[in-house]
A and B are shown apart, each in its own frame.
Chain A
Amino acid sequence: MSTDVLLHAKGVGKSFGGFTALAEIDIDLRPGERLGLIGPNGSGKSTFVNCISGDFAQHEGTVTLAGHSLNGLKPHRRARLGLARTFQLPQPFNSLSVLENVRVPLLFSGHAADATERAMACLEQVEMADKAQKLPKELTQVEQRRLELARAIALNPRLLIADEAMAGLSNAEVDQIIALLFKLNQAGAAIIMIEHIMRAVTAFSERLVVFVAGRKIADGIPRDVLALEEVEGAYLGKQ
């Protein structure tokens, strides 16, 4: 494994009973890289993300982050190694204010003393500082997405997995989230974007991986990958 690999996934496989959701997935990600992960519904994208983030234990293969093995680590230990994620549906802490939502990761990552200042800085990055005292239920859909990103930023991530972070947003809102992800990427975080909105994926990603039926069928620069016949056939519906 090269030393300039941030995430190294080798032979990752996951089954649910007799159903194989993922098989023999190999993916390497460089620090600061922007990777788009696409595939039809049920292709294993979210299962892969859940294996990386620790929500699921993979049955096969190994995963390392910056040289640290993630196998068997709880999600919170992975978060402390610099792995942050957002969810398909925003999952805020509903009884806590926006500010407290962002303070939570800071309290458990050695920044309890200046958690409030740092949380406000994260909210400023996502242009949510003026909503700091609101409750999540008072936020719009796009604001909830921004809150998720602020919470991820608070972890100072080396790798952010944005799992359909733009689902249900308008075109203008999609552009806002893409701009935020670019900003985060420029700050040094590698990003895996899982998305069905092809415009967003192609605008953001410098590399594209395609999953179909739990297997990786393509990996390369977006223009080349999207031109592959297998990808067109499997993902875009052409025979």
Chain B
Amino acid sequence: MTPNLRFWLGAALLALVLFLSLRLLGNDYAYFAGYFVLQYVVLASAWNILGGYAGYVNFGAAGFMAAGAYAAIVLRQALGLELLPGILFAALVAGLLGLGTGYLTLRLRGVYFSIATLCLAVVLQTLVVNWDYVGGSRGAYIVHPRDIPPFTSYAEYLFVVMLVLAILAAGIGRAVERSSLGRGLQAIRDNERAAEAVGVPTLRLKLVATTLCGALMGVAGAPLPYYSGYLNPEAAFSLAYAVNAIAMPLIGGAGTWAGPVIGAVLLASLQQAATVTISSALNLWIVGWMLVIFVALAPKGILGWFRRRP
């Protein structure tokens, strides 16, 4: 069995076990909690492509995610199309946004690039707040069908959609890691000047990475209005997305496909548990402390900790 086949079969089996376990629970909350965790698997895997492999820290994750969410809303308003076409449209819109952002900003490096991506999110939020068609600052409502056969509830449907997206995102991250693109991005992260000198087309690879990263972040955001039934700019551009998108890969192990998955499952589960038991106000507090602990004790994340050389 080839490693690729083993990965996809393993992922499909894991997905099936998850799905059946939640169905046995028979509780919509479990689906919503699962969705919450899985959306971060997609978001963290997306961030990792540019931030983890190429070393370009994107502070604008919330902007790309919101672009995906609002793309789905626009498609629904304009053509009446539901979630699945909305996800594809979100990937297209956020991917193009990533390409454009990359073209304008990738000549910047380090903190300058990061600030530029942060600015993008601010600009997008200002646009959305002043765009009545998508509800402006009031927000937009999405009334979704009660059931989508053969699923037992809309929550289950959303969970399955996000489960598939999470597996795809992890698979794309893994494919990038094992490809020439991944090696080129790693070379860029380590030493961009040397990479260029040995024939790596650095700008082109970075543009591919920003496009892919943007598209996946958009995909993570597209189901958001369907999940909550209502979306306003404050929620769509929430700081929590930007912080989590960075913290999760760093805690799991940036620059590996599995790191963001581990980090997202760990951090999002903790936040979900805190939301239920104490308060959602604790979420960023938890992320902050986890980051401090990992930066001090395991700067290469959980995977880096286990892979340490003697």
Contacts and interface: CB of A to CB of B under 8 A. Distances in A.
A87 interface: yes
B122 interface: no
A84 B200 CA distance: 12
Contact of B199 (A94, A95, A105, A112): A105
A84 B197 CA distance: 7
Nearest to A107: B180
A93 B187 contact: yes
A15 interface: no
A105 B196 CA distance: 9
Given A76-B199, A76-B201, A95 B183 contact: no
A20 to B, nearest CB: 24
B194 interface: yes
Central interface residue in A84, A85, A92, A93, by most chain B CB within 10 Å: A93
B24 interface: no
Interface string B132-162: 0000000000000000000000000000000
A223 interface: no
Contacts of A93: 186-187, 190-191, 194-195
A80 B199 contact: yes
Contacts of A85: 197
Interface stretch (A96-104, A189-197, A225-233): A96-104
Contacts of A151: 198
B109 interface: no
A76 B190 contact: no
B198 A154 contact: yes
Interface centre among A74, A76, A105 (most CB of B within 10 A): A76
Interface residues of A, number: 29
Contacts of B202: 76
B189 interface: yes
A91 B198 CA distance: 11
A103 B186 CA distance: 12
Query: SS class of chain B's interface: helix, strand, loop or mixed?
Result: helix
Nearest to A93: B190
Nearest to A101: B187
Contacts of B180: 107-108, 112
A33 B166 CA distance: 56
A31 interface: no
Contacts of A87: 194, 197
Contact of B191 (A55, A76, A92, A108): A92
B194 A79 contact: no
A46 interface: no
A154 B183 CA distance: 16
A85 B203 CA distance: 20
A53 interface: yes
B105 to A, nearest CB: 18
Contacts of A76: 196-202
Interface in B161-212: 180, 183-184, 186-187, 189-191, 193-203
A155 interface: yes
A53 B197 contact: yes
Contacts of B184: 104, 107-108
B208 to A, nearest CB: 13
A125 interface: no
A94 B190 CA distance: 6
B255 interface: yes
Nearest to B205: A108
Contact of A104 (B200, B203, B255): B200
Contacts of A92: 190-191, 194
A226 B191 CA distance: 37
Interface centre among B193, B199, B203 (most CB of A within 10 A): B199
A91 B200 CA distance: 14
Given A91-B191, A91-B193, A91-B194, A79 B186 contact: no
A104 B195 contact: yes
B197 A79 contact: yes
Contacts of A91: 191, 193-194
A100 B183 contact: yes
Interface string A101-139: 001110111001000000000000000000000000000
A75 interface: yes
Contact of B186 (A95, A108, A152): A95
Given A79-B198, A91-B191, A103-B183, 19 more contacts: A55-B193, A55-B197, A74-B203, A75-B197, A76-B198, A76-B199, A85-B197, A91-B193, A92-B191, A94-B190, A95-B186, A95-B189, A104-B183, A104-B184, A108-B184, A112-B180, A152-B198, A154-B198, A155-B199
Interface of A: 53-55, 74-76, 79-80, 84-85, 87, 91-96, 100, 103-105, 107-109, 112, 151-152, 154-155
Interface of B: 180, 183-184, 186-187, 189-191, 193-203, 255
9 contacts: A55-B193, A74-B196, A79-B199, A96-B187, A103-B183, A104-B198, A108-B200, A112-B180, A155-B199
Ordered nearest first, which 7 A-B pairs have the shortest CB separation? A79-B199, A93-B190, A105-B198, A91-B194, A107-B180, A75-B196, A108-B199
